[in-house]
Structures are given as structure tokens and as C-alpha cells.
Amino acid sequence: MLPKDYIAYKLSGIHGIDVSDCSGTLLMNVKNRTWSKEIIEALGINFNSLGKIYESSEIIGTLKENLKEKFGFEKNIKIIMGGGDQAMGAIGVGAIKEGTISLALGTSGVVFSPTDEYKVDLKYRLHSFCDGNGKYHQMGVTLSGASALKWWVEDVNNSKDYELYNNLAKDILPGSDQLYFLPYLIGERTPHNNPYIRGGFIGLTHNHHKGHMTRAILEGVAFSLKDCFSLLNNLNLKEDKILISGGGSKSSLWKQILADVIGKPIITIDSASEGPALGCAIIASVACNNFSSIEEACKKIIKEVHTTYPSKENINIYKDSYEKYKKLYDPLKNFWS
């Protein structure tokens, strides 16, 4: 059981798991949304120890009678299965159809692309999972997203003044005077799948100061997320709309950098800081018949409040910087392996 599944079990007595979390167990036939008989038998796992697989918005049961009495509930309380953080976060920002991308800039950076059909990156650089809306998604993850900026501001500079560092970076021209930051502070997932690679500043000179270094961090994370978008492009997935959420979305500068690096508008929504929790609330409301579908709920609840458009001039600057950034990985990977 994953944590939420154990809670659901204690509340309802039902042993289950949802399709989005189950996709990450490596025990699932994701395409068919079932346990993988071949893998489970090969590992000698008892099928009876595995719970039933549910869709995220399914009602799996009701609150146990003894808990109803303990907490003073008179009516039956429905228990809805729920889902993984990114699957729920995508619903919470309205990324529920192919072409609408969830860009979550939290502790990690996540690019989440819903798909109508099961697709897979044959080099296994993207996650191919079930989503919380009855379909599938492709997901790329850079392990150090906003946490890279937190490390720089709080741990290195012993500060909490993010606005100060944001303003220092704002005064620096795109490209950070040829200073690069590799955001591999705890290894990297997409596209490298390398737990040994390490982060670093490349190209430091006496002319660089905290403003350059701060902007290089913002750009380095953006380049890593660009890696994720490039892999989606390889699968011919559309990027009609990019919806941003997470703590990093509070920075207008970072959103501008992302728009310029990715080359697409970045849309901020009114629930940018509440994605996964709101996604859970939405599927619960649908399960309780307050809305006819997840699509209807998202349309009525989630509002787009601001769009950050890319600068044509900056797109060209970052196109060149990104190509140089990509060349830094290969010579360094062997140093850390």
C-alpha cells in the first residue's frame, strides 16, 4: 500500500490502490490498467497481498461504522480512492486533455502531458502512467526545481528574501553572461536517469556576482525542463497550452524565462498554489455527483488569470544557450560516475 491507500484502508476496510499511483510500483501493466501477472509471478509475489486497482475518482466504500460513531457522523461518508500527487495536481490546474500541459515548479520540476492513448518513450526517459481522468500521461521530472533556488537563497546565502534575489537576477541580461548552472543537486531523472551526476556553476569569472548566479539557476532549471518538453516533442505530443503551478510560479521573472526557453506562452491559474489538493477535491466532488464530469468541474472551478508571452529576441538567445547547456552533461557524467 502507498500512504493514501493505507489511510483509505483504515477508514473503509478496503484494500486498494488507484491507477496513477499503481503505475509507479513497477508491478502494473499500465496500458491495460491491471496488475502485471508476468512481473508478479517472476518476483514470487502473492496476488492476495495486492489490493484491487481503482480509478482515482471511484468510490471504494464508506467510513466504518465504529468511526462514524466515534466522530459523530450520521450519514454515510464516502471514501474516494484519490491519486498520485502529479495526477491530482494536473486535475487541479485543469490539464486533463491532450495538448494541455501541467508545468509544476515545486520542489522538483514536472512536465505532465495527458494523452488519450498509452504511449511510451522507448529509451525510458519519460514516465508513462495512467492519469486520474481515465486516460494516460507522459511525465518528465527534473529533481531540483524550486528547491535549487531555495538551496541558493536559504542554505548558501542564509536569507529568506526571495524578492531581493529575484530583483538581482532581473538586472542581468538573458544568458547570465555565459554562466551556466547544472541543477543536478540530487542527481537527475529526466532525461538522464543518473543518480550520480552532480550540479555546478560552469563558466564563473570575476565579473559574475550573485545576480548572475541567481539568474543562472533560474535558467538552468528552465533548460532542464526544456529537456522534458523536447522528449514530448519526440512523441509528437501537442503543447497547445502550458499551465504553471507550484511555488516557483510566484516569480514573474522565472515564468518569463520559462516562456522564453520553451518558446511558448505560460499560463498562470488562480489555483496555482493548490494544485494537488484542489485536484483531490475535484474528483471527490465528481464522485459525489456535484459535477457530471471532471471536465465540467475543472471548467467551472479553475480560472486562467495571467499569460506570460515569450520574447522573440530572448527565444533566439536561449536557443543558443540551451544548445551549449546540453553539451555540458556528457563530459561531466564520467567524472561523477
Residues identified as active-site: 85
Q: How far is CA 99 from CA 62, 78, 128, 198, 240, in A?
A: 36, 33, 16, 33, 5
What CA–CA distances, in Å, run from 205 to 181, 184, 208?
A: 14, 21, 6
Query: 73 is written with which cell numbers?
Result: 457522523
CA neighbor of 315 nearest in space, from 208, 109, 175:
175
Rounded to whole angstroms, the Cα distance separating 289 from 278 reads 17
Strands 100-105 and 78-80, by their bridges, are unpaired
The three-state (H, E, C) secondary structure of 204-264, written as one string: CCCCCCHHHHHHHHHHHHHHHHHHHHHHHHHCCCCCCEEEEECHHHHCHHHHHHHHHHHCC
| Helix axis angle, 210-234 to 252-262, nearest 10° | 40
Using an 8 Å Cβ cutoff, are 121 and 138 in contact?
yes
| Per-residue CA distances from 94 to 87, 238, 241, 300 (Å) | 11, 16, 10, 10
| Among 21, 26, 227, residue whose Cα is nearest residue 137 | 21
Q: What is the Cα–Cα distance from 81 to 53, expressed in whole angstroms?
A: 10
Label residue 201 exposed, middle or buried (CB < 10 Å: 0-12, 13-18, 19+).
middle
β-pairing, 200-202 with 78-80?
A: unpaired
Instruction: Report how far residue 87's alpha carbon sits from residue 137's, in angstroms, rounded to the nearest whole number.
Output: 8
List, in order, residues 6 or more apart from 193 with CB less than 8 Å away: 124, 125
